[in-house]
Structure 1
Protein backbone atom coordinates (compact mmCIF):
# COMPACT_ATOMS: atom_id res chain seq x y z
CA UNK A 1 0.00 0.00 0.00
CA UNK A 2 1.54 3.31 -1.02
CA UNK A 3 -0.09 6.70 -1.27
CA UNK A 4 3.04 8.13 -2.87
CA UNK A 5 2.25 6.32 -6.14
CA UNK A 6 -1.08 8.06 -6.69
CA UNK A 7 -1.44 10.22 -9.78
CA UNK A 8 -3.47 13.25 -10.73
CA UNK A 9 -5.85 11.25 -12.85
CA UNK A 10 -6.20 7.91 -11.13
CA UNK A 11 -6.52 8.97 -7.49
CA UNK A 12 -4.76 7.41 -4.51
CA UNK A 13 -4.72 3.64 -4.18
CA UNK A 14 -5.27 2.07 -0.78
CA UNK A 15 -5.62 -1.48 0.42
CA UNK A 16 -9.39 -1.18 0.62
CA UNK A 17 -10.43 0.97 -2.30
CA UNK A 18 -9.26 3.23 -5.08
CA UNK A 19 -10.17 6.85 -4.46
CA UNK A 20 -10.96 8.67 -7.68
CA UNK A 21 -10.25 12.37 -7.57
CA UNK A 22 -12.03 14.80 -9.85
CA UNK A 23 -10.68 17.27 -12.39
CA UNK A 24 -7.70 19.47 -11.54
CA UNK A 25 -7.71 23.11 -12.67
CA UNK A 26 -4.46 25.06 -13.06
CA UNK A 27 -4.00 28.85 -13.02
CA UNK A 28 -0.67 29.63 -14.63
CA UNK A 29 1.44 32.51 -13.28
CA UNK A 30 1.18 35.75 -15.25
CA UNK A 31 4.74 36.73 -14.28
CA UNK A 32 7.86 34.84 -13.26
CA UNK A 33 6.96 31.50 -11.68
CA UNK A 34 8.28 31.64 -8.10
CA UNK A 35 5.74 29.64 -6.07
CA UNK A 36 3.06 26.99 -6.47
CA UNK A 37 0.11 26.65 -4.14
CA UNK A 38 -2.46 23.87 -4.17
CA UNK A 39 -5.83 25.32 -3.17
CA UNK A 40 -8.57 23.02 -1.86
CA UNK A 41 -12.30 23.69 -2.10
CA UNK A 42 -14.94 23.02 0.53
CA UNK A 43 -17.57 20.29 0.83
CA UNK A 44 -19.68 19.87 -2.33
CA UNK A 45 -17.63 22.34 -4.38
CA UNK A 46 -15.02 21.79 -7.10
CA UNK A 47 -11.67 23.19 -8.19
CA UNK A 48 -13.12 25.38 -10.93
CA UNK A 49 -14.85 27.93 -8.69
CA UNK A 50 -11.68 28.66 -6.72
CA UNK A 51 -9.51 28.74 -9.84
CA UNK A 52 -11.66 31.59 -11.16
CA UNK A 53 -11.28 33.57 -7.91
CA UNK A 54 -7.55 32.94 -7.52
CA UNK A 55 -6.85 33.93 -11.13
CA UNK A 56 -7.87 37.48 -10.30
CA UNK A 57 -5.64 37.93 -7.25
CA UNK A 58 -2.68 40.33 -7.61
CA UNK A 59 -0.16 37.51 -7.19
CA UNK A 60 1.35 37.18 -10.69
CA UNK A 61 4.25 34.93 -9.63
CA UNK A 62 2.13 32.14 -8.14
CA UNK A 63 0.88 29.08 -9.97
CA UNK A 64 -2.36 27.79 -8.45
CA UNK A 65 -3.38 24.15 -8.64
CA UNK A 66 -7.04 23.55 -7.80
CA UNK A 67 -7.94 19.85 -7.62
CA UNK A 68 -11.45 18.46 -7.16
CA UNK A 69 -12.21 16.07 -4.31
CA UNK A 70 -13.61 12.57 -4.82
CA UNK A 71 -17.39 12.13 -4.78
CA UNK A 72 -18.42 9.98 -1.80
CA UNK A 73 -21.29 9.51 0.64
CA UNK A 74 -20.90 12.00 3.49
CA UNK A 75 -22.21 11.16 6.94
CA UNK A 76 -22.79 14.75 8.02
CA UNK A 77 -25.17 15.06 5.02
CA UNK A 78 -27.04 11.86 5.89
CA UNK A 79 -25.02 9.79 3.44
CA UNK A 80 -25.73 12.03 0.45
CA UNK A 81 -22.89 11.71 -2.08
CA UNK A 82 -20.93 14.85 -2.93
CA UNK A 83 -17.34 16.01 -3.37
CA UNK A 84 -15.48 15.62 -0.06
CA UNK A 85 -11.80 15.29 0.82
CA UNK A 86 -12.58 12.81 3.60
CA UNK A 87 -15.54 11.37 5.46
CA UNK A 88 -16.97 13.46 8.28
CA UNK A 89 -19.86 12.23 10.37
CA UNK A 90 -20.01 15.25 12.65
CA UNK A 91 -18.01 18.36 13.45
CA UNK A 92 -16.93 17.29 16.90
CA UNK A 93 -13.61 16.82 18.69
CA UNK A 94 -15.00 13.54 20.00
CA UNK A 95 -15.90 12.18 16.56
CA UNK A 96 -13.70 9.60 14.80
CA UNK A 97 -11.17 10.84 12.24
CA UNK A 98 -11.13 9.31 8.76
CA UNK A 99 -7.38 8.68 8.62
CA UNK A 100 -7.60 6.80 5.31
CA UNK A 101 -9.41 9.67 3.62
CA UNK A 102 -7.17 12.31 5.22
CA UNK A 103 -4.00 10.51 4.17
CA UNK A 104 -5.26 9.87 0.64
CA UNK A 105 -6.16 13.52 0.07
CA UNK A 106 -2.98 14.83 1.70
CA UNK A 107 -0.98 12.46 -0.53
CA UNK A 108 -2.87 13.62 -3.62
CA UNK A 109 -1.98 17.23 -2.78
CA UNK A 110 1.67 16.39 -2.09
CA UNK A 111 1.89 14.50 -5.38
CA UNK A 112 0.60 17.54 -7.26
CA UNK A 113 3.37 19.61 -5.66
CA UNK A 114 6.11 17.02 -6.02
CA UNK A 115 6.48 17.55 -9.78
CA UNK A 116 7.20 21.28 -9.44
CA UNK A 117 10.74 22.54 -10.19
CA UNK A 118 13.21 22.39 -7.28
CA UNK A 119 13.55 26.18 -6.97
CA UNK A 120 9.77 26.78 -6.65
CA UNK A 121 8.37 27.49 -3.18
CA UNK A 122 5.43 25.28 -2.26
CA UNK A 123 2.30 25.91 -0.22
CA UNK A 124 -1.20 24.61 0.48
CA UNK A 125 -4.36 26.58 1.12
CA UNK A 126 -8.01 25.79 1.41
CA UNK A 127 -11.51 26.72 2.46
CA UNK A 128 -13.60 24.80 5.03
CA UNK A 129 -12.96 21.07 4.48
CA UNK A 130 -10.15 22.07 2.14
CA UNK A 131 -8.62 24.09 4.97
CA UNK A 132 -8.83 20.98 7.14
CA UNK A 133 -6.68 19.09 4.61
CA UNK A 134 -4.25 22.03 4.44
CA UNK A 135 -3.83 21.93 8.24
CA UNK A 136 -3.58 18.16 8.30
CA UNK A 137 -0.89 18.44 5.62
CA UNK A 138 0.97 20.89 7.87
CA UNK A 139 1.08 18.28 10.64
CA UNK A 140 2.23 15.60 8.16
CA UNK A 141 5.00 17.91 6.94
CA UNK A 142 6.15 18.58 10.50
CA UNK A 143 6.21 14.89 11.36
CA UNK A 144 7.77 13.95 8.03
CA UNK A 145 5.11 11.31 7.47
CA UNK A 146 1.41 10.72 6.93
CA UNK A 147 -0.80 9.21 9.59
CA UNK A 148 -0.16 5.78 8.05
CA UNK A 149 3.59 6.18 8.49
CA UNK A 150 4.56 6.69 4.85
CA UNK A 151 7.08 9.53 4.27
CA UNK A 152 5.78 13.00 3.46
CA UNK A 153 7.62 13.98 0.26
CA UNK A 154 7.55 17.78 -0.12
CA UNK A 155 8.88 20.83 1.74
CA UNK A 156 6.14 23.33 2.54
CA UNK A 157 6.68 27.07 2.90
CA UNK A 158 3.16 28.35 3.66
CA UNK A 159 -0.25 27.10 4.81
CA UNK A 160 -3.55 29.00 4.59
CA UNK A 161 -6.78 27.83 6.19
CA UNK A 162 -10.02 29.80 5.76
CA UNK A 163 -13.09 28.72 7.80
CA UNK A 164 -11.52 25.38 8.60
CA UNK A 165 -10.56 23.12 11.47
CA UNK A 166 -7.71 20.80 12.44
CA UNK A 167 -8.41 17.06 12.10
CA UNK A 168 -6.74 14.82 14.70
CA UNK A 169 -6.27 17.82 16.99
CA UNK A 170 -6.23 15.62 20.09
CA UNK A 171 -3.02 13.81 19.17
CA UNK A 172 -0.98 16.37 17.24
CA UNK A 173 0.90 17.81 20.23
CA UNK A 174 2.29 14.45 21.37
CA UNK A 175 3.34 13.57 17.83
CA UNK A 176 5.23 16.83 17.30
CA UNK A 177 6.81 17.07 20.78
CA UNK A 178 8.18 13.55 20.45
CA UNK A 179 10.66 14.54 17.73
CA UNK A 180 13.22 17.35 17.67
CA UNK A 181 13.07 17.48 13.87
CA UNK A 182 9.26 17.61 13.90
CA UNK A 183 9.36 20.47 16.42
CA UNK A 184 11.86 22.35 14.23
CA UNK A 185 9.70 21.97 11.14
CA UNK A 186 6.55 22.97 13.00
CA UNK A 187 8.19 26.12 14.37
CA UNK A 188 9.41 27.17 10.91
CA UNK A 189 6.17 26.77 8.93
CA UNK A 190 4.12 29.97 8.43
CA UNK A 191 0.37 29.39 8.85
CA UNK A 192 -2.49 31.86 8.34
CA UNK A 193 -5.91 30.98 9.74
CA UNK A 194 -9.00 33.14 9.34
CA UNK A 195 -12.59 32.69 10.42
CA UNK A 196 -15.85 34.57 10.25
CA UNK A 197 -17.30 35.45 13.65
CA UNK A 198 -20.77 34.48 12.40
CA UNK A 199 -19.85 31.24 10.60
CA UNK A 200 -22.94 29.04 10.77
CA UNK A 201 -21.31 25.97 9.17
CA UNK A 202 -17.92 25.69 10.89
CA UNK A 203 -18.35 27.72 14.10
CA UNK A 204 -15.74 30.34 14.94
CA UNK A 205 -14.67 28.47 18.07
CA UNK A 206 -13.55 25.52 15.91
CA UNK A 207 -11.09 27.85 14.22
CA UNK A 208 -9.95 29.20 17.59
CA UNK A 209 -9.46 25.71 19.00
CA UNK A 210 -7.48 24.66 15.95
CA UNK A 211 -5.24 27.71 16.35
CA UNK A 212 -4.60 26.87 20.01
CA UNK A 213 -3.98 23.17 19.27
CA UNK A 214 -1.42 24.04 16.61
CA UNK A 215 0.23 26.65 18.83
CA UNK A 216 0.52 24.19 21.73
CA UNK A 217 2.01 21.62 19.34
CA UNK A 218 4.83 24.02 18.48
CA UNK A 219 3.60 25.81 15.36
CA UNK A 220 4.91 29.23 16.44
CA UNK A 221 4.72 31.09 13.14
CA UNK A 222 0.93 31.15 13.09
CA UNK A 223 -1.65 33.93 12.81
CA UNK A 224 -5.40 33.81 13.44
CA UNK A 225 -7.68 36.51 12.04
CA UNK A 226 -11.34 37.00 12.91
CA UNK A 227 -13.78 38.76 10.58
CA UNK A 228 -16.68 40.36 12.43
CA UNK A 229 -20.15 39.85 10.95
CA UNK A 230 -18.89 37.37 8.34
CA UNK A 231 -20.27 33.86 7.84
CA UNK A 232 -19.11 30.81 5.89
CA UNK A 233 -17.77 32.71 2.88
CA UNK A 234 -14.83 34.89 1.94
CA UNK A 235 -14.82 38.64 1.35
CA UNK A 236 -12.47 40.80 -0.78
CA UNK A 237 -10.77 42.34 2.27
CA UNK A 238 -9.86 38.87 3.47
CA UNK A 239 -8.34 37.83 0.14
CA UNK A 240 -6.38 41.10 0.10
CA UNK A 241 -4.94 40.17 3.47
CA UNK A 242 -4.10 36.69 2.20
CA UNK A 243 -2.11 38.32 -0.61
CA UNK A 244 -0.33 40.67 1.81
CA UNK A 245 0.52 37.73 4.07
CA UNK A 246 1.81 35.51 1.25
CA UNK A 247 4.11 38.01 -0.47
CA UNK A 248 6.81 38.31 2.22
CA UNK A 249 6.60 34.67 3.29
CA UNK A 250 7.22 33.39 -0.20
CA UNK A 251 9.65 36.17 -1.08
CA UNK A 252 7.53 37.35 -4.01
Structure 2
Protein backbone atom coordinates (compact mmCIF):
# COMPACT_ATOMS: atom_id res chain seq x y z
CA UNK A 1 0.00 0.00 0.00
CA UNK A 2 1.31 3.43 -0.92
CA UNK A 3 1.49 5.37 2.30
CA UNK A 4 2.26 8.77 0.83
CA UNK A 5 -0.32 11.37 -0.11
CA UNK A 6 0.55 14.32 -2.29
CA UNK A 7 -1.19 17.55 -1.47
CA UNK A 8 -1.24 20.34 -4.01
CA UNK A 9 -2.35 23.87 -3.34
CA UNK A 10 -1.10 27.46 -3.57
CA UNK A 11 1.43 26.49 -6.22
CA UNK A 12 3.45 24.11 -4.06
CA UNK A 13 3.20 20.38 -3.51
CA UNK A 14 4.05 18.64 -0.27
CA UNK A 15 4.26 14.87 0.09
CA UNK A 16 3.15 13.44 3.42
CA UNK A 17 4.63 10.10 4.42
CA UNK A 18 2.16 8.21 6.59
CA UNK A 19 3.34 5.60 9.06
CA UNK A 20 2.32 1.98 9.49
CA UNK A 21 -1.34 0.95 9.22
CA UNK A 22 -2.67 -1.67 11.67
CA UNK A 23 -5.78 -3.69 10.80
CA UNK A 24 -8.11 -5.59 13.15
CA UNK A 25 -10.12 -8.01 11.02
CA UNK A 26 -13.76 -8.84 11.86
CA UNK A 27 -14.28 -12.06 13.80
CA UNK A 28 -17.84 -12.35 12.50
CA UNK A 29 -19.76 -11.28 9.41
CA UNK A 30 -18.04 -8.17 7.97
CA UNK A 31 -20.72 -5.45 8.11
CA UNK A 32 -18.74 -2.25 8.67
CA UNK A 33 -15.24 -0.83 8.32
CA UNK A 34 -14.05 2.05 10.48
CA UNK A 35 -10.81 3.97 10.11
CA UNK A 36 -9.71 5.11 13.58
CA UNK A 37 -7.25 7.99 13.98
CA UNK A 38 -4.93 8.30 16.98
CA UNK A 39 -4.03 11.45 18.89
CA UNK A 40 -0.99 13.72 18.62
CA UNK A 41 2.29 11.84 19.09
CA UNK A 42 0.64 8.42 19.18
CA UNK A 43 0.49 5.61 16.59
CA UNK A 44 -2.10 3.27 15.12
CA UNK A 45 -1.03 0.23 17.12
CA UNK A 46 -2.16 1.79 20.44
CA UNK A 47 -5.78 1.72 19.30
CA UNK A 48 -5.72 -1.51 17.32
CA UNK A 49 -4.82 -3.34 20.55
CA UNK A 50 -7.92 -1.87 22.23
CA UNK A 51 -10.22 -2.74 19.32
CA UNK A 52 -9.16 -6.38 19.44
CA UNK A 53 -10.85 -6.55 22.87
CA UNK A 54 -14.18 -4.88 21.98
CA UNK A 55 -17.41 -6.90 21.55
CA UNK A 56 -17.89 -5.73 17.94
CA UNK A 57 -17.18 -8.84 15.85
CA UNK A 58 -18.72 -7.40 12.67
CA UNK A 59 -16.44 -4.37 12.38
CA UNK A 60 -13.09 -4.21 10.61
CA UNK A 61 -10.88 -1.55 12.19
CA UNK A 62 -8.16 0.22 10.19
CA UNK A 63 -5.72 2.16 12.38
CA UNK A 64 -3.25 4.22 10.34
CA UNK A 65 -0.29 6.17 11.73
CA UNK A 66 0.04 9.89 11.02
CA UNK A 67 3.07 11.45 9.29
CA UNK A 68 5.92 12.60 11.52
CA UNK A 69 6.27 16.36 11.22
CA UNK A 70 7.36 19.44 13.19
CA UNK A 71 4.43 20.62 15.31
CA UNK A 72 4.14 24.26 16.40
CA UNK A 73 2.40 23.45 19.69
CA UNK A 74 5.56 21.53 20.69
CA UNK A 75 7.89 24.28 19.49
CA UNK A 76 8.62 22.55 16.21
CA UNK A 77 9.45 19.20 17.80
CA UNK A 78 8.94 16.22 15.46
CA UNK A 79 6.03 13.93 16.29
CA UNK A 80 3.17 12.12 14.59
CA UNK A 81 0.40 14.58 13.68
CA UNK A 82 -2.46 14.52 11.18
CA UNK A 83 -1.99 18.24 10.49
CA UNK A 84 -0.07 21.22 11.80
CA UNK A 85 -1.55 22.75 14.94
CA UNK A 86 -0.63 25.85 16.91
CA UNK A 87 -3.22 24.94 19.51
CA UNK A 88 -5.72 22.16 20.18
CA UNK A 89 -8.93 24.18 20.11
CA UNK A 90 -9.73 25.16 16.54
CA UNK A 91 -8.99 28.82 17.35
CA UNK A 92 -5.68 28.93 15.49
CA UNK A 93 -5.14 28.98 11.71
CA UNK A 94 -6.35 25.85 9.93
CA UNK A 95 -3.76 23.71 8.11
CA UNK A 96 -6.02 22.93 5.15
CA UNK A 97 -3.24 21.23 3.22
CA UNK A 98 -2.45 18.86 6.08
CA UNK A 99 -6.14 18.23 6.81
CA UNK A 100 -6.86 17.47 3.15
CA UNK A 101 -3.90 15.10 2.92
CA UNK A 102 -4.99 13.16 6.01
CA UNK A 103 -8.65 13.09 4.96
CA UNK A 104 -7.57 11.83 1.52
CA UNK A 105 -5.39 9.14 3.12
CA UNK A 106 -8.38 7.95 5.17
CA UNK A 107 -10.68 7.99 2.13
CA UNK A 108 -8.06 5.98 0.22
CA UNK A 109 -8.02 3.35 3.00
CA UNK A 110 -11.81 3.05 2.77
CA UNK A 111 -12.01 3.10 -1.02
CA UNK A 112 -11.23 -0.61 -1.48
CA UNK A 113 -13.80 -1.91 1.02
CA UNK A 114 -16.66 -4.11 -0.31
CA UNK A 115 -19.69 -2.21 -1.65
CA UNK A 116 -22.10 -3.78 0.88
CA UNK A 117 -20.04 -2.72 3.92
CA UNK A 118 -20.89 0.48 5.82
CA UNK A 119 -18.00 2.94 6.23
CA UNK A 120 -17.10 5.09 9.21
CA UNK A 121 -14.33 7.27 10.62
CA UNK A 122 -13.47 7.85 14.26
CA UNK A 123 -10.64 9.25 16.29
CA UNK A 124 -9.24 10.60 19.52
CA UNK A 125 -8.10 14.21 20.09
CA UNK A 126 -6.36 15.38 16.88
CA UNK A 127 -7.64 12.16 15.28
CA UNK A 128 -11.19 13.18 16.27
CA UNK A 129 -10.58 16.59 14.67
CA UNK A 130 -9.51 14.85 11.44
CA UNK A 131 -12.57 12.57 11.59
CA UNK A 132 -14.86 15.61 11.95
CA UNK A 133 -13.07 17.36 9.09
CA UNK A 134 -13.70 14.23 6.98
CA UNK A 135 -17.38 14.44 8.00
CA UNK A 136 -17.59 17.99 6.63
CA UNK A 137 -15.81 16.90 3.41
CA UNK A 138 -18.36 14.08 2.98
CA UNK A 139 -21.19 16.54 3.59
CA UNK A 140 -19.89 19.17 1.18
CA UNK A 141 -18.87 16.52 -1.35
CA UNK A 142 -15.37 17.93 -1.65
CA UNK A 143 -12.10 18.54 0.20
CA UNK A 144 -10.96 22.00 1.18
CA UNK A 145 -8.95 22.20 -2.05
CA UNK A 146 -12.10 21.58 -4.12
CA UNK A 147 -11.31 18.00 -5.15
CA UNK A 148 -14.22 15.53 -5.05
CA UNK A 149 -14.65 13.60 -1.78
CA UNK A 150 -15.27 9.99 -2.84
CA UNK A 151 -16.57 8.20 0.27
CA UNK A 152 -20.12 7.81 1.56
CA UNK A 153 -19.88 7.80 5.36
CA UNK A 154 -22.39 6.04 7.61
CA UNK A 155 -20.98 7.04 11.04
CA UNK A 156 -18.43 9.39 12.61
CA UNK A 157 -17.08 9.20 16.18
CA UNK A 158 -14.95 11.81 17.93
CA UNK A 159 -13.48 11.44 21.43
CA UNK A 160 -11.89 14.43 23.19
CA UNK A 161 -11.60 16.40 19.96
CA UNK A 162 -12.65 19.59 18.20
CA UNK A 163 -13.93 20.78 14.82
CA UNK A 164 -11.36 22.29 12.42
CA UNK A 165 -12.46 25.00 9.96
CA UNK A 166 -15.60 25.74 12.00
CA UNK A 167 -15.43 29.45 11.10
CA UNK A 168 -15.99 28.81 7.38
CA UNK A 169 -18.38 25.86 7.57
CA UNK A 170 -21.64 27.84 7.65
CA UNK A 171 -20.79 29.78 4.48
CA UNK A 172 -19.83 26.56 2.71
CA UNK A 173 -23.06 24.82 3.72
CA UNK A 174 -25.34 27.68 2.68
CA UNK A 175 -26.85 27.31 -0.76
CA UNK A 176 -26.27 23.57 -1.04
CA UNK A 177 -29.44 21.54 -0.51
CA UNK A 178 -27.42 18.36 -0.99
CA UNK A 179 -24.95 19.31 1.76
CA UNK A 180 -27.80 20.08 4.18
CA UNK A 181 -29.42 16.73 3.37
CA UNK A 182 -26.15 14.83 3.93
CA UNK A 183 -25.50 16.68 7.19
CA UNK A 184 -28.95 15.86 8.56
CA UNK A 185 -28.59 12.15 7.87
CA UNK A 186 -24.99 11.55 9.06
CA UNK A 187 -24.85 10.00 12.57
CA UNK A 188 -22.11 11.59 14.72
CA UNK A 189 -21.13 10.67 18.28
CA UNK A 190 -18.97 13.13 20.23
CA UNK A 191 -17.67 12.32 23.73
CA UNK A 192 -15.66 14.65 25.97
CA UNK A 193 -14.37 14.62 29.52
CA UNK A 194 -15.25 17.54 31.77
CA UNK A 195 -11.76 17.25 33.28
CA UNK A 196 -9.87 17.35 29.96
CA UNK A 197 -6.81 19.59 30.44
CA UNK A 198 -5.43 19.11 26.89
CA UNK A 199 -8.45 19.78 24.68
CA UNK A 200 -10.75 21.77 26.96
CA UNK A 201 -14.29 20.48 27.38
CA UNK A 202 -15.68 23.83 26.15
CA UNK A 203 -13.94 23.29 22.80
CA UNK A 204 -15.66 19.93 22.36
CA UNK A 205 -19.01 21.39 23.40
CA UNK A 206 -18.55 24.39 21.10
CA UNK A 207 -17.71 22.07 18.19
CA UNK A 208 -20.90 20.06 18.77
CA UNK A 209 -22.93 23.28 18.83
CA UNK A 210 -21.27 24.51 15.62
CA UNK A 211 -22.10 21.26 13.81
CA UNK A 212 -25.65 21.25 15.10
CA UNK A 213 -26.22 24.87 14.07
CA UNK A 214 -25.37 24.19 10.42
CA UNK A 215 -27.63 21.16 10.14
CA UNK A 216 -25.93 18.11 11.65
CA UNK A 217 -29.13 17.00 13.35
CA UNK A 218 -28.17 13.37 13.99
CA UNK A 219 -25.49 14.32 16.53
CA UNK A 220 -25.09 12.89 20.03
CA UNK A 221 -22.85 14.72 22.52
CA UNK A 222 -21.83 12.94 25.73
CA UNK A 223 -20.03 14.54 28.67
CA UNK A 224 -18.11 12.53 31.29
CA UNK A 225 -17.58 13.80 34.82
CA UNK A 226 -13.99 13.57 36.01
CA UNK A 227 -12.66 12.28 32.69
CA UNK A 228 -9.37 13.79 31.50
CA UNK A 229 -7.67 13.45 28.12
CA UNK A 230 -7.94 9.68 27.81
CA UNK A 231 -10.65 7.05 27.35
CA UNK A 232 -12.37 4.83 29.92
CA UNK A 233 -14.48 1.63 29.65
CA UNK A 234 -17.71 3.58 30.21
CA UNK A 235 -16.89 5.66 27.12
CA UNK A 236 -15.87 2.71 24.93
CA UNK A 237 -19.09 0.90 25.98
CA UNK A 238 -21.01 3.96 24.78
CA UNK A 239 -19.18 3.85 21.43
CA UNK A 240 -19.91 0.11 21.05
CA UNK A 241 -23.62 0.53 21.79
CA UNK A 242 -23.92 3.59 19.55
CA UNK A 243 -22.16 1.93 16.59
CA UNK A 244 -24.25 -1.23 16.99
CA UNK A 245 -27.46 0.82 16.86
CA UNK A 246 -26.46 3.32 14.15
CA UNK A 247 -24.87 0.77 11.81
CA UNK A 248 -27.50 -1.90 12.41
CA UNK A 249 -24.87 -4.45 13.40
CA UNK A 250 -26.03 -8.00 14.07
CA UNK A 251 -24.73 -10.07 16.97
CA UNK A 252 -22.59 -7.28 18.47
CA UNK A 253 -24.55 -6.46 21.59
CA UNK A 254 -22.71 -6.15 24.89
Q: Is the 8 A contact 1:173 1:218 kept in 2?
A: no
Local SS of the residue matching 2:223: strand
Q: Is the 8 A contact 1:41 1:130 kept in 2?
A: yes
Alignment of 1:1-252 (within 5 A): 8-15=1-8, 16-252=13-249
Local SS of the residue matching 1:230: coil
**Count of residues in Structure 1 that have an aligned counterpart in Structure 2:** 245
**Residue deviations 1:82-101, cap 9 Å, x none?**
00000001235442100000
In 2: Cα distance, 1:27 partner to 1:85 partner: 21
Local SS of the residue matching 2:162: coil
1:27 CA displacement: 0.1
Structure 2 equivalent of residue 4 of structure 1: none
In 2: Cα distance, 1:71 partner to 1:141 partner: 26
Q: Is the 8 A contact 1:74 1:82 kept in 2?
A: yes
**Residue deviations 1:55-99, cap 9 Å, x none?**
111000000000000000000000000000000012354421000
Q: Summarize the Cα distance change of 1:63–1:135 in structure 2 as closer, same or farther, 3 Å threshold.
A: same
Q: Aligned-pair RMSD on alpha carbons?
A: 0.9
Q: Which runs of 5+ in 1 are unaligned?
A: 1-7
TM, length-normalised to structure 2:
0.95
In 2: Cα distance, 1:245 partner to 1:117 partner: 23
Local SS of the residue matching 2:166: coil
Local SS of the residue matching 1:45: coil
